[in-house]
Amino acid sequence: MVEEITGKIAKIKYIEKQKGDVRDTLADVSKIKKELGWMPMINIYKGLERHIEWYKKLEV
């Protein structure tokens, strides 16, 4: 998705796992949906687009 949004090919560098890295998060928002009625307002693709645009505006 990042490659598609930026129009650039990612340079992926695989490195050893770091101590404390989480292998699987099993992330699930069903409990917050049930308990608080929360629903995400944007999907992951749109969120990435927004994040990349924000990052581009930083003076890095």
Q: Positive or negative, the Cα torsion across 15, 17, 22, 24?
A: positive
End-to-end CA distance of the chain, in Å? 22
Pairwise CA distance, residues 60 & 57, whole Å? 9
Dihedral over alpha carbons 46, 49, 50, 54 (to 10 degrees): 170
**Global confidence as pTM:** 0.66
The separation between CA 1 and the C-alpha centre of its own chain, rounded to angstroms, equals 10
Span 1-60, pLDDT tens digits:
999 999 999 999 999 989 998 888 888 889 999 999 999 899 999 999 999 999 999 977
